[in-house]
Structure formats: structure tokens, C-alpha cells
Amino acid sequence: MAIVVVGCGALADRSVFYASEAAKAAGGSFPMDATAGIVAGCAMVALSRVFTRRTQKGDAMARALAEVLGRVSVRDAIVLALLSGVAEEMLFRGLLQPMIGWVAASLLFGAAHIAPRRDLWLWTGTSVVAGFVLGALFAATGNLVAPVVAHFTVNATNLRWLSVHYAGPRSAE
């Protein structure tokens, strides 16, 4: 997906790593943007934990996701989070958001996370909210560093957490 996105950006004669040419010229601060991504990602993880632990709907959603995912090793969680974080942010924030806007890109992000099972529709809704947060990070920083780091943080942490707490008996990893 990332290769296709970069190709589409090249056809449109613009970088998919920056929100605009002005943002590209300004550069940005990798340490500050990465820190913003970590803070936002940790906040989203914390909110998901509260929702999961304190509501029946959150608990049911976590159980359904864990059933679909099964056991996920630390290595697999990191690899999946890196691949999805980079590719999805390149597509939804880097390519689409500058073309169609923050709201439309966030809604499409949620639509890309539509689950075929009714008990996972709430996950689709949380994906829309996450899309708005990730889009805001992109708009604020002007580059993909913060949204990629936040996306990675959420996915790596939550994939492993679901696996450990909801996916059944532990296996040797």
C-alpha cells in the first residue's frame, strides 16, 4: 500500500510525507513530533483501557477483537503496528487529507475499519475518532511523524494487550 501511495503522490507532484509544500519547506522537529505522537498514542490507549474495563460494551468489543485476532506475540504486534501505522497514515493523512480534507479522510479511515461482524461495529466508531485525532496531529505538525508514532503506539500496545488479557490461554512465546 505504501508504494502505491508514494506513486500516487508522485503523480500528483507532491510528497505524501508532508501536509503541504510550506510544511515540507519548514521541515519540522522529529523529536517534538515523535513526542506528540507518543503522548497522543498513550492517551488513546489509556482511554481505550478505561472504556474496556469500565463498560460492558468496551469489554464485549475487546473480547470480540481478541477472538478475531487470537494470540499475538510481542514481535508480531510490533511488526503489524509498524506496517499498519506507516501504510495507513501515508494513505489517509499523507495522500488523502490534503486532497479531501480532515473530516472526509477521518471518515474514510473509519470506513476502512468497518468490521463484518455486528459485535465489532463499535470498533469502527472508535476508528473514526482515532482518525480525527491522527488527522489533527498531521495538521498540527505538518508531517507524518506524529500520526505514525501515535498509530504505532496504539496498535502495538492494544494488539498485545488484547492478546494477553482476552485471547485465551498463554502459549510459550
**130 contacts 52 by C-beta, under 8 angstroms:** no
pLDDT tens per residue, range 31-72: 999 999 999 999 999 999 999 999 999 999 999 999 988 899
Provide the domain count of the chain. 1
Range of the domain at 41: 2-166
What is the percent of the chain with per-residue pLDDT over 70, rounded to a whole number? Answer: 97
Asked whether residue 173 is domain-assigned, the answer is: no
Asked whether residue 53 is domain-assigned, the answer is: yes
Asked whether residue 125 is domain-assigned, the answer is: yes
Provide the whole-model pTM.
Answer: 0.91
